[in-house]
């Protein structure tokens, strides 16, 4: 029986295995034997089937925003941005907001715990994109841009006034 094949981008599918290639199964409707075939003919078992082939998953967008200084005002600003962005297509992601409920940003040990956790989200590529928001790029946001570069996560200046600063960081990182 010939295999059915479809070109897919698995990163946008429910499996999230970040593979772009051909999907092949026993039949068009059989998702029990999911294989991804590269142009060289190598075959990889996919980590899981999407709910429906071709269904796009919402984009998880990490909201990078200054927190230090006027912490409560900045938290309110991030929550407002999350509320504005949240839609069927976009899931805003600001895990540091939860951490600030039990960690004190003014206590160095607490801040280090939060920063370390944040770095882990980047290392694991939990988000699809990083969007820069707020009035300026803080040192912490700069670090998040550099982590994004390191792990191949696209960065967008949600606040267009931040684009020149983002461009400068990219130049420094020699990526423009």
Q: Are 134 and 63 in contact (CB under 8 A)?
A: no
Mean pLDDT, range 108-126, rounded to an integer: 93
Flag whether 51 is in a domain. no
Angle between helices 139-151 and 163-172 (to 10 degrees): 60
44: pLDDT strictly greater than 60:
no
Q: What is the pLDDT of residue 10?
A: 46
Q: Are residues 27 and 109 in the same domain?
A: no
Q: What is the pLDDT of residue 55?
A: 58
Q: Are residues 99 and 155 in the same domain?
A: yes
To the nearest whole number, what is the mean pLDDT of the chain? 78
Predicted model pTM: 0.69
**Number of compact structural domains in the chain:** 2
Q: What is the pLDDT of residue 8?
A: 42
Q: What is the pLDDT of residue 1?
A: 34
Mean pLDDT, range 31-60, rounded to an integer: 54
Helices (H) and strands (E) in the chain, counts: 5, 8
Flag whether 63 is in a domain. yes
pLDDT band at 17 (very low <50, low <70, confident <90, very high): very low
Burial 69-87 (b: 16+ CB within 10 A, else e): eeeeebbebbeebbeebee
pLDDT band at 21 (very low <50, low <70, confident <90, very high): very low
Flag whether 50 is in a domain. no
Flag whether 53 is in a domain. no
Q: Are residues 110 and 164 in the same domain?
A: yes
Q: What is the pLDDT of residue 152?
A: 93
Q: What percent of the chain shows pLDDT beyond 90? A: 59
Residue 175 zone, left/alpha/beta (φ > 0; ψ -120 to 50; rest): alpha
pLDDT band at 137 (very low <50, low <70, confident <90, very high): very high
Q: Are residues 23 and 92 in the same domain?
A: no
Which residues constitute the domain of residue 80? 59-172
pLDDT band at 49 (very low <50, low <70, confident <90, very high): very low
Flag whether 147 is in a domain. yes
Q: What percent of the chain shows pLDDT beyond 70? A: 67
């Amino acid at each position: 029986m010939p295999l059915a094949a479809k070109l897919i981008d698995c990163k946008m599918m429910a499996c999230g295995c970040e593979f772009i290639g051909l999907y092949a199964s026993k039949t068009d409707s059989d998702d029990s034997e999911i294989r991804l075939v590269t142009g060289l003919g190598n075959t990889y078992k996919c980590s899981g089937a999407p709910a429906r082939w071709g269904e796009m998953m919402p984009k998880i967008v990490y909201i990078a925003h200054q927190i230090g200084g006027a912490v409560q005002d900045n938290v309110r600003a991030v929550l407002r941005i999350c509320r504005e962005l949240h839609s069927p297509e976009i899931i805003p992601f600001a895990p540091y907001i939860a951490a600030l409920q039990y960690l004190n940003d003014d206590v160095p040990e607490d801040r280090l715990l939060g920063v370390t956790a944040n770095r882990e989200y980047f290392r694991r590529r939990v988000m699809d994109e990083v969007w820069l928001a707020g009035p300026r790029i803080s040192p912490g946001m700069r670090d998040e841009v550099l982590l994004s570069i390191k792990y191949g996560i696209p960065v967008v200046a949600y606040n267009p006034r931040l684009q020149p600063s983002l461009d400068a960081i990219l130049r420094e990182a020699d990526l423009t």
